Amino acid sequence: MNSIIEQLRNRFSEALVAAFGSEFAETDPLVVPASNPKFGDYQSNLAMSLAKTLGQKPREIAQQIVQHLEVSKLCEPAEIAGPGFINLTLKSSYLEARLNAIQSDSQLGAEKAKTPQRVIVDFSSPNIAKEMHVGHLRSTIIGDSIARILEFRNHDVLRLNHVGDWGTQFGMLIAYLREAYPEALTKRDALELEDLVKLYQKAKQRFDEDEEFRENSRQEVVKLQAGEEDSIRAWELLCEQSRREFQVIYSLLDVELTERGESFYNPLLPGVIEDLDYQELTEVDAGAKCVFLEGFTNKAGEPLPLIVQKSNGGYNYATTDLAALRYRIQQDGAERIIYVTDAGQADHFAQVFQVARRAGWIPEGVKGQPDGSPVLVHVPFGLVQGEGGKKLKTRSGETPRLRDLLQEAIARARADLETRLQEEGRTESEEFKDKVARVVGISAVKYADLSQNRTSNYIFSYDKMLSLQGNTAPYMLYAYVRIRGISRKGNINFEQLGTDAEILLQEEAELVLAKHLLQLSDVLKEVEQDLLPNRLCQYLFELSQKFNQFYDRCPVLQASEPQRTSRLVLCHLTARTLKLGLSLLGIPVLERM
Ligand code: ARG
């Protein structure tokens, strides 16, 4: 089933052809949701945009379009306003029919992609032996939501964790392990990650102060690259310790990822350079192999190089990304690759994408999405800041550990819950409280992140994200709980309402809610394109608000039939839409809270 706006667009195109000929078949009908509800539900500015081409007055054009516009099933008669706007108001009978149709659909009318794609979402991607930080948290939350939405749209999604598990820092780490923890090279579980992070700092210190240690570190890199057994063992030990720590976070967040770290691409790096050489893209500059970039210049206006092989023969972050990109297109068959990192890496990706394009790795004809938008997309996000826009810090002034950050959200959600229970004179089991606190705490962190336009920085505030008021997870979860409460109170099994239950839309609040319920499909399509999950948050927030207005104004359980059943169906549809929408943000619902 096409969404309402698509149907209207089709009808406009037909009218345009009927009125002015087939050369207008491809003209964009410019149908958009009305800017103001007083103009109806949708409007088209087509007449104005055609005035010049047709050499007629916009109002006359509008009249001719309207004469040929066959929308009587969907809309009240079209109205022409001002200089030639065409305004449309949906008929309640049509809305009723649409709601009836989505009621019996497990996807609530949300369409699947017409041409499913192989999509890679590269997200989270922390670095071994370093603490996962809030930037990785944002990447994890945003990447997971994007992956969920694309999966829902039926794309074949590969969620890749491009873990930083290779590089010269391992030389330093292993050199230090040998020195300070020789037993660690034989006993696997000798270290915990906190030690690893400290170990990293200590190793770095040794590296900075001692030339002999630096030389040992360089030797360790060589040994590791040569695949020497105990070097590999030490490296694996470091990776495993880190991995365990990352998994604590992924489990708390309920995020699934396939690990394919940087080391995976090691054997492919020489081939990448060969390929670039063959394409005559490389030049040697001060001993390093570079690709000179188009559109990136230094202060003197000279093209900047992207170094792909250092003068000592080593490779770097960019080389690995080039190898990964080529592998993902050629071996994984990716048709769209989405990289979710902080905005600070925008240049890095723009440069890597450019080199990949110039190397001919992005096949002609693979246009990315059906609309021709690019195969390679960097999804940048802003910083997470502390109160007052400063760097996020704990009370004692340190960078908070992610685990602690999440546990704190849970603890605060639990304290809020205890207060509320006391106020309401309720007693609940420990199990109930644990579950609610965990869902509310984690959801609050996720939602606070997702509800912002990702490109802006946001201020991390427990008070704000845990508030029951405003565009927050608790507000949304509570709207769901409220609806489930109606079913409990009226002793009604929503599932058994029957998909043939008649829907009647009479009150304004019912119509407003109904129209909003029917927008889900369009919103998800938008997010698929622009990869902005905050649009889905906004949609769900407005849905909760519109539901609350409906519920304040229209009696449900007290209403007489046939209104009662119709309104119960609206309640149920709202609950299902909230549940589905939240699940795409990685947020589960609660029956009670
Ligand atoms: N490990 C990197 C970091 O912590 C992020 C990797 C992002 N993905 C990529 N393909 N470069 O900043």
Q: Which residues line ligand 1 (CB under 6 A)?
A: 122, 125-127, 162, 164, 321, 324, 339, 341
Atom 8 in ligand 1: residue holding the nearest Cα: 162
Query: Which ligand 1 atom minimizes the distance to the CA of 348?
Result: 11
Supply the pLDDT for residue 371. Answer: 58
Supply the pLDDT for residue 496. Answer: 80
> Any idea which fold 402-583 has?
Isoleucyl-tRNA Synthetase; Domain 1 (1.10.730)
| Whether the Cβ atoms of residue 506 and residue 540 lie closer than 8 Å to each other | no
Atom 4 in ligand 1: residue holding the nearest Cα: 126
Query: Which ligand 1 atom minimizes the distance to the CA of 342?
Result: 12
Q: Is the peptide bond before 588 cis (omega within 30 degrees of 0)?
A: no
**How far is the C-alpha of 217 from the C-alpha of 208, rounded, in Å?**
11
Every domain range in the chain assigned CATH 1.10.730.10: 402-583
> Any idea which fold 118-126+135-164+264-372 has?
Rossmann fold (3.40.50)
Supply the pLDDT for residue 370. Answer: 56
Query: Which ligand 1 atom minimizes the distance to the CA of 317?
Result: 11
Every domain range in the chain assigned CATH 3.40.50.620: 118-126+135-164+264-372
**CATH architecture for the domain at 4-90:** 2-Layer Sandwich (3.30)
- Distance from the CA of 461 to the center of ligand 1, in angstroms? 26
Every domain range in the chain assigned CATH 3.30.1360.70: 4-90
Which two tokens mark 240? 């495993």
- Distance from the CA of 37 to the center of ligand 1, in angstroms? 45
**How far is the C-alpha of 211 from the C-alpha of 204, rounded, in Å?**
12
Supply the pLDDT for residue 486. Answer: 94
Q: pLDDT tens string for the chain (593 positions)?
A: 678 999 999 999 999 999 999 999 999 999 999 988 888 999 999 999 999 999 999 999 999 999 999 999 999 999 999 999 999 999 999 999 999 999 989 999 999 999 999 999 999 999 998 889 999 999 999 999 999 999 999 999 999 999 999 988 899 999 998 888 877 776 666 566 567 888 888 999 999 999 999 999 999 988 998 888 888 888 988 998 899 889 999 999 999 999 999 999 999 999 999 999 999 999 999 999 999 999 999 999 999 999 999 998 889 999 999 999 999 999 999 999 999 999 999 999 999 999 999 999 987 655 555 555 578 999 999 999 998 888 888 878 888 889 999 999 999 999 999 999 999 999 999 999 999 999 999 999 999 999 999 999 999 999 999 999 999 999 999 999 999 999 999 998 888 887 678 899 999 999 999 999 999 999 999 999 999 999 999 999 999 999 999 999 999 999 999 999 999 999 999 999 999 999 999 999 999 99
- Distance from the CA of 248 to the center of ligand 1, in angstroms? 20
Strand partners, 378: 339
CA angle (478, 104, 541) in 5-degree steps: 25
